[in-house]
Chains A and B, each alone.
Chain A
Amino acid sequence: MVEATGTPLDRVDGRLKVTGAARYSAEWDVPGLTYGAIVTSTVAHGTVRAIDSTAALRAPGVLTVLTHENAPRLQPFPEKVNGSLFRGEGGITETRQPLQDANVEYAGQPLAVVVADTLERARHAASLVRVTYEQRPPELNITASSRRTLPETFTGNKEEKLQVTVGDPKVALAAAPVKLEQVYESAITHHNPIEQLASIARWETRNGSEFLTLYDTTRGVENMQEVVSNSLSVPKENVHVICPFIGGAFGSKGWLFAPPLLTAMAARVAKRPVKIEWRRQDMFAVAGQRAATRQTLSLGATRDGKLTALQHDTQTHSSQSSGYTEPCARVSRMMYAVPNLGFAHQLSHLHLPSPCPMRGPGETVGGWALECAMDELAAELNLDPVELRLRNYAETNPETGKPWSSKHLRECYARGQELIGWSKRNPKPRSMREGNTLIGYGMATTMYPAARRPAEAKATLFADGRALVQSATHELGNGAYTIFRQISADGLALPVERVRFELGDSALPNAPTSGGSATTATIGPAALAACRNVLGALKRLAIRDAQSPLYGATEDALEARDGRLVRKAAPTQGEEYGTILRRAKLPSLEASGEAKPGDEREKYSFYSFGAVFVKVRVDELTGTIRLAQLCAVYDVGRLMNPKTAHSQIIGGVSMGLGATLMEETHYDQQNGRAVVRNLADYHVPSMADTPNIQVEWLNIPDPHISELGARGIGEIGCVGTPAAITNAVYHATGRRFRSLPLTPDKVLPT
């Protein structure tokens, strides 16, 4: 049988998605459903003096209005949930429980929920709630904040310190023959998945005990179950979180607990199922964001281009009730062989909404700054930008000294140059032109940490020859349904048509929040373990069954092949799985499996790598930039499905394009309200912005990460692209741009 893993299988959920049958969180038809609408704070800092719900309560169809005065009490967030630091500096989430007090910490903060019989009536009644405030001036500026901290770690991970010095960068910088110091700034950006946040909460009493069913746009059903049950003081097993499809997340929808908690509270008080679908406007306040950054990059080098020192200092911001810190040095800490390396992160707590991870957290904007600085250094040294990177190629991880699990970045550079025609460009800036436009070529290195986490799965063989494999992971466009079916089919030696993979339900075997490009390396091995275990159980059945041709064999002497168990030594001797089960009068046979990273993490440093090359057209007289072509080559280990992988990569690339050229959320500098709060003003790339994209991969299995040899690919496309574009704009115009995004007003020469 041909292995399914690695083949370009069409998405198995494709038919559901193209017919509109895939069911997203706002779409469950729950009887007696009512609708919640949110009242949000119009000010950014202060205290609610009074909330007058009288008019709202009198409006037709209104069932209840929840405010901090009458909402159920919630338990505070735990310190840590499933290993991630929640509270404190560097913590991953906003720990402000909704409707528990009168404090206002950012504009758009939920202050009340109105529940009514129809969506229209709920929304309208919400506009009738009158809130008066004791206002205080908001702090909105990174560099002028009164509450600044230096978080020690990113989300409590001891492997990821945020304040690090290796060697003596200060001294080395002072002594460096060539020095470069520049400040790079990036804007606040929003994930803006096309599916808006939504939850449906339904409470029931079963055997005298309260049960909550929660349909929520979450890529962390297990974390959600944990946090919601803890917050509401309900046993964990009485909370059921369901999410079989997510309409995009990109870092959002993972650590957002206030939206479902508000829904659950509203449903409890209204005594009816409640749905809250958040408006796009609200998502600029409650759905997380990538914080703005101000990064100072200092490079020291020898005249022949060897880096002697690298210092990368970041100023960024969070809200009053989150310690989330954009880890901008993620690329700087590992990319180049530099003996003196330092980085620091300073966090300002502002009266702005809470940030959270966004595709390539730290890498996207931190890598942009580093790779732009490298381009500037190359120009300073009159070196080809690729050559400068090769001269500083890191053979081992410069921070930890560990060898790489697998690194083939040189091949990526070489192939990328070929694809774009790097050698045919005139390396001189501002030397290439077509009609009204300047032409520029640029490149950047990209990377992504190859994480892996513990996970569990369950495999069930049915007597009719079909199989089911389950794990509480998520489908957010990553192709989880498809690739885990492929992997499971191989694990069970069955054709993919006979295997189903289920996910998106807290009742399924444990799996972590889907993020950090870790899902394939995490769930794949767990699924394989479950498959192995169920086949082991089946072997034991056959071995003990006198009627089986496999009777009396040892387990080791048997193998699964094409839906049959056979003797390795004599493959014609064997029988189909179903035959074994039917004779045993078993409709099905199931087994669990778990998998987790081992001591390989102590020995090796796990990263994916890549090189991005772009060609841009710059219409300088209007400041307009278009991408003509983007060629990228990635070393991401073995591919599970080249078709879905290609899609994920081009998606990442486009999000990088958006961050570079157009994405920016402004908050009014007087009152802290989002001024950009819809998809007409917040520009995400449209089809018209899309260049010709050529993506290749080396497809070299990582020998250490897991038996699948696959590292993740969700984010690496987003990293690298911004610097490649920015460097190409420099090549086109001869001008450096150190502030994202490169909107026409900035690019236009003044």
Chain B
Amino acid sequence: MPDELQPLLPTGATVPNCELPDGTRLHELRGQPVVLAFASIDWNPAQVYQSEIFTRLLQEFDAGISSLEARTTTWHSLDWHSEAATQLGVTGQRALLLLDEQGVLRWQTTVTPGQEIRPGQVLAALEALRPPMSVTGEAPAAAGGVSRRTFLTATLAASALLLLVGASTAAEPVAATKNHPPMLPTPPADTVPITLTINGKTHRLEVEPRVALLDALRENLHLTGTKKGCDHGQCGACTVHLDGQSALSCLTLAVMGEGRQITTIEGLAQGDDLHPVQAAFVKHDAFQCGYCTPGQIMAAAALVQDKQKRSAAEIREAMSGNLCRCAAYPNIIAAIQETQTA
């Protein structure tokens, strides 16, 4: 995180009287809890899905949040480069702040770019939280003396925020997953514990030996950037790097990935800075539907590592293991030509 950022406001502080996009000032809203969510205005179509979940959550948690509903129905995220973001110390971060009825900051969370998020976990955690509330009508022992309604609201809104802004990148879920009820009665019996190093991070999993690395990435770790196009090594969509070389994750057993450096599309960019191949793909429109694209980019990124200048014919031959049914091939060639000697 860059140093020049202002520190976060401490919990318990009274927030400055920021102006919101609709012209309202924060102090005018005293008397009800307020949720402030900050995100990049870079748009993400997964919002369609997220707003649906949000609406649903509102319905399910209706009892606890009726006073919030009026605001949250018009809720949309604030620009993380806005004046309010600066005043609240969350510039450039996905952040969620909850103010109580007196305008005091009661709860906040920020999400560093690059962190992983699992919308499903958040949702599951919320579901786990639900029964005691609906049954007893009493709040769980919430930390920090925050009222039940506030706590609920915070949890709810935090989930919404993370869902809203996080589906593309990543962060630990706000709500603890230990409350996640086991969805399936019996844990798989024939699994083996494995440790995979993916994008520099260590992941411990329990998988059957027959689980392909591709499925471990997509289904177990929810790193869905690596795509399944054929599952038989015939399309290249699942290309990852194993120890720096391009390889097919669909024909690699997850157990055989132990001890190797695995890089996926999620690990190619440096924070917000795209890898040069990624940037060149955008510039040259080297994709259409985008589904084979992560595999193309991983193959191309491995190819250009040696900084050799390859002819168009050599690129054609070297990249033929990555099928693109939209046939963005000429544009992929142009993108690679631009990056290979850079």
Question: What residues of chain A have their CB less than 8 Å away from a CB belonging to chain B?
Answer: 10-24, 26-34, 60-61, 117-121, 191-196, 204, 206-207, 213, 215, 240, 242, 244-250, 272, 277, 279-280, 462-466, 475-479, 481, 497, 500, 502-505, 507-508, 578, 581-583, 585-588, 643-644, 646-648, 650-651, 653-655, 678-680, 684-688, 690, 692-693
Write the nearest CB–CB distance from B204 to chain A, whole angstroms: 17
Contact residues of A: prevailing secondary structure: loop
Residues of B within 8 A of A502 (CB): 45, 47-48
Q: A31-B183, A244-B49, A248-B326 are in contact. List 19 more A-B contacts (CB 8 A).
A: A19-B278, A20-B224, A23-B167, A28-B49, A28-B120, A30-B120, A195-B229, A206-B59, A242-B49, A245-B291, A246-B289, A463-B23, A464-B21, A477-B326, A479-B288, A502-B47, A582-B23, A650-B327, A688-B320
Contact of A687 among B123, B180, B294, B329 (CB under 8 A): B329
A-B contact pairs, 25 of them (CB 8 A): A11-B282, A16-B44, A16-B45, A18-B279, A21-B225, A22-B168, A24-B224, A24-B291, A27-B218, A27-B224, A29-B118, A31-B121, A33-B120, A194-B325, A247-B227, A463-B21, A475-B289, A505-B52, A507-B48, A588-B74, A646-B285, A679-B234, A684-B323, A685-B327, A687-B322
CB contact under 8 A between A503 and B45, given known A21-B167, A280-B232, A685-B327: yes
Contact A244 B324 (CB under 8 A): no
Residues of A within 8 A of B234 (CB): 280, 678-680
Contact B291 A247 (CB under 8 A): yes
Contact A582 B22 (CB under 8 A): yes
In the assembled complex, the Cα of A504 lies from the Cα of B46 at a distance in Å of 10
B237 interface residue per 8 A CB criterion = yes
Contact A61 B292 (CB under 8 A): no
Residues of A within 8 A of B167 (CB): 21, 23
Residues of A within 8 A of B74 (CB): 587-588
CB contact under 8 A between A194 and B324, given known A206-B59, A280-B231, A582-B22: yes
B38 interface residue per 8 A CB criterion = no
Contact A643 B319 (CB under 8 A): no
In the assembled complex, the Cα of A488 lies from the Cα of B5 at a distance in Å of 35
In the assembled complex, the Cα of A586 lies from the Cα of B48 at a distance in Å of 23
Contact B124 A118 (CB under 8 A): no
Contact of B274 among A11, A18, A250, A500 (CB under 8 A): A18
B184 interface residue per 8 A CB criterion = yes
Residues of A within 8 A of B324 (CB): 194, 687
Residues of B within 8 A of A651 (CB): 288, 325-328
In the assembled complex, the Cα of A417 lies from the Cα of B98 at a distance in Å of 67
Contact A679 B235 (CB under 8 A): yes
Contact of A196 among B186, B190, B228, B316 (CB under 8 A): B228
Contact of B120 among A29, A578, A644 (CB under 8 A): A29
Contact A686 B215 (CB under 8 A): no
> 1/0 per residue B205-224: CB within 8 Å of A?
00010110001001100111
Contact of A686 among B23, B218, B219, B320 (CB under 8 A): B320
Contact A504 B168 (CB under 8 A): no
Contact B288 A647 (CB under 8 A): yes
> 1/0 per residue B30-72: CB within 8 Å of A?
0000000000011111111100100010011000000000000
Residues of B within 8 A of A647 (CB): 285, 288, 326, 328, 331
CB contact under 8 A between A481 and B45, given known A120-B215, A688-B317: yes
Contact A19 B118 (CB under 8 A): no
B310 interface residue per 8 A CB criterion = no
Contact of A242 among B48, B227, B266, B282 (CB under 8 A): B48
**Residue of A whose beta carbon sits closest to that of B235:** A679
Residues of A within 8 A of B235 (CB): 194, 679
B86 interface residue per 8 A CB criterion = no
Residues of A within 8 A of B328 (CB): 647, 650-651
B297 interface residue per 8 A CB criterion = yes
Residues of B within 8 A of A27 (CB): 218, 224
Contact of A20 among B124, B188, B225, B228 (CB under 8 A): B225
Contact of A654 among B184, B266, B327 (CB under 8 A): B327
Write the nearest CB–CB distance from B86 to chain A, whole angstroms: 15
B281 interface residue per 8 A CB criterion = yes
Contact of A120 among B211, B218, B315 (CB under 8 A): B211
Residues of B within 8 A of A24 (CB): 224, 227, 291
B339 interface residue per 8 A CB criterion = no
CB contact under 8 A between A587 and B278, given known A247-B289, A464-B79: no
Contact B326 A585 (CB under 8 A): no
In the assembled complex, the Cα of A26 lies from the Cα of B229 at a distance in Å of 11
Residues of B within 8 A of A14 (CB): 281-282, 285, 287
**Residue of A whose beta carbon sits closest to that of B170:** A21
Contact A643 B285 (CB under 8 A): yes
Residues of B within 8 A of A215 (CB): 49
Question: What residues of chain B have their CB less than 8 Å away from a CB belonging to chain A?
Answer: 21-24, 41-49, 52, 56, 59-60, 74, 76, 79, 82, 118-121, 123-124, 127, 167-169, 180, 183-184, 186, 188-190, 208, 210-211, 215, 218-219, 222-232, 234-235, 237, 264-266, 268-269, 274, 278-279, 281-283, 285, 287-294, 297, 315-317, 319-333
Contact of B230 among A21, A648, A679, A690 (CB under 8 A): A679
In the assembled complex, the Cα of A710 lies from the Cα of B291 at a distance in Å of 27
CB contact under 8 A between A690 and B291, given known A194-B324, A587-B22, A588-B74: no
In the assembled complex, the Cα of A508 lies from the Cα of B329 at a distance in Å of 34
Contact of B325 among A193, A586, A693 (CB under 8 A): A193
Residues of A within 8 A of B223 (CB): 20
Write the nearest CB–CB distance from A327 to chain B, whole angstroms: 23
In the assembled complex, the Cα of A21 lies from the Cα of B264 at a distance in Å of 12
Contact A19 B225 (CB under 8 A): yes
Q: 10 nearest interchain CB pairs? A: A20-B225, A247-B291, A464-B21, A582-B23, A477-B288, A477-B289, A17-B290, A654-B327, A21-B168, A29-B120
Contact of A18 among B169, B219, B278, B331 (CB under 8 A): B278
Contact of A29 among B119, B293, B294, B320 (CB under 8 A): B119
CB contact under 8 A between A196 and B229, given known A23-B224, A242-B52, A244-B48: yes
Write the nearest CB–CB distance from B103 to chain A, whole angstroms: 19
Which of B43, B215, B235 neighbours the largest number of chain A CB atoms within 10 Å of its CB?
B43
Write the nearest CB–CB distance from B299 to chain A, whole angstroms: 10
Contact B184 A687 (CB under 8 A): no
In the assembled complex, the Cα of A679 lies from the Cα of B228 at a distance in Å of 13
Contact of B227 among A194, A272, A678 (CB under 8 A): A194
In the assembled complex, the Cα of A506 lies from the Cα of B327 at a distance in Å of 29
Residues of A within 8 A of B118 (CB): 29
Which of A33, A478, A479, A687 neighbours the largest number of chain B CB atoms within 10 Å of its CB?
A687
Contact B289 A240 (CB under 8 A): no
**Residue of A whose beta carbon sits closest to that of B123:** A31
Contact of B333 among A13, A21, A503, A687 (CB under 8 A): A687
Residues of A within 8 A of B121 (CB): 29, 31
Residues of A within 8 A of B49 (CB): 23, 28, 215, 242, 244, 505
Contact A193 B265 (CB under 8 A): no
**Residue of B whose beta carbon sits closest to that of A475:** B45
Residues of B within 8 A of A462 (CB): 21-22, 76
Which of B223, B289, B323 neighbours the largest number of chain A CB atoms within 10 Å of its CB?
B289
Write the nearest CB–CB distance from A363 to chain B, whole angstroms: 18
**Residue of A whose beta carbon sits closest to that of B327:** A654
Residues of B within 8 A of A244 (CB): 45-46, 48-49
Residues of A within 8 A of B278 (CB): 18-19
Residues of A within 8 A of B285 (CB): 10-11, 14, 643-644, 646-647
Contact B329 A690 (CB under 8 A): yes
Residues of B within 8 A of A60 (CB): 186, 188-190
CB contact under 8 A between A587 and B52, given known A20-B264, A26-B228: no
In the assembled complex, the Cα of A477 lies from the Cα of B326 at a distance in Å of 8
**Residue of B whose beta carbon sits closest to that of A206:** B59
Write the nearest CB–CB distance from B222 to chain A, whole angstroms: 5
In the assembled complex, the Cα of A272 lies from the Cα of B182 at a distance in Å of 13
Residues of B within 8 A of A680 (CB): 232, 234
Contact B183 A32 (CB under 8 A): yes
